[in-house]
Amino acid sequence: MDTIPYITVDVFTSTRFEGNPLAVISDARGLSDAAMQMIATEFNYSEVTFVLPPEDPRNSARVRIFTPTMEIPFAGHPNVGTACVLGRQAEIFGKPVGEKLRFEEQAGIVEVALKRSGGKVAAAAIRAPQPLTIGDVIAEETISRCIGLEPGAIVKTNHAPVFASVGLNFAIAELSGLEALSAARPDLAGFQAAAGHQTTSGHDFSLFVYVRTSEDPWNIRARMFAPLDNVPEDPATGSASAALGAYLVTLTAEADMNVRITIEQGVEMGRRSIIALDVTKCDGTVTDVVISGSCVAVMRGQVILRD
């Protein structure tokens, strides 16, 4: 095997060159772990996915997700993008493509529903593979050092900064408004110090900050910084959005609810992304989180493995 094909897509957008870019290796058979990591590092996207035959034939594929520095157990935009790429094929490892896919991942089984427009797959909805877990509270001074803001810009009215996960762990913090959100800048030393005190695992310390208003609480603006993963800023982060959405619904007084949450991300980078979340809460517990988004193809090519 001298070359291996890839396709890139922009995820959480229907406009090419916006959203979050993803490279998909739709048949990664024969690649070693080290080769996968080198390819992901070479692309330098926030993630690259490598698709393999499923270990259980009832599932559609095994999907491995790599950042520029490590393999991670789950992420949102890689699943949406990979589902769109595979959904546009006639078959996946010899099996016809249906309306639903099931991906085997480190975090568990990820269920996917394909969404078509004009007969072509244009979007996908994925179900978070794990229930919401909340980790340690984080000092606002830690958050402020990471993004160069005064501690007063960190809002604790609804919740203190905290770790949250539905398959991949993030630090989550609310900011005082769009001005603070726009002014945030990742500080590598601050992230390194924060990681030194991190008590949760999954990947390096990554920070998801957001703003919302009481008048329109389910429309949210956000930014995500992960410089320790060589991702200074991510244009769209479905896994962090899902964790945030589930956590905010948990904090509401209602015992039962179904809510649609829209998260706009990547605006400050010139790569606007729209992430839709459908969160279900029953008897005070979030029972389901579905992440939806559009996807558009951008590039096709080959990775040269040897001359």
The residues annotated with a catalytic role in the active site are 47
Neighbours of 77 (CB within 10 A): 33
Q: Are 130 and 166 in contact (CB under 8 A)?
A: yes
H/E run at residue 248: helix 238-250
Q: Are 63 and 77 in contact (CB under 8 A)?
A: no
What 3-state DSSP class applies to 51?
strand
- The CA–CA distances, whole Å, from 258 to 217, 220, 247 equal 14, 17, 14
First to last CA, the chain: 10
Q: Are 177 and 210 in contact (CB under 8 A)?
A: no
Residues comprising the chain, all counted: 307
Residue whose tokens read 């699943």: 79
Q: Are 144 and 185 in contact (CB under 8 A)?
A: no
φ and ψ at 132, to 5 degrees? -60, 130
Query: Among residues 160, 153, 216, which one has the least CA distance to residue 185?
Result: 153
Query: Both tokens of residue 206?
Result: 């990554």
H/E run at residue 22: strand 20-25
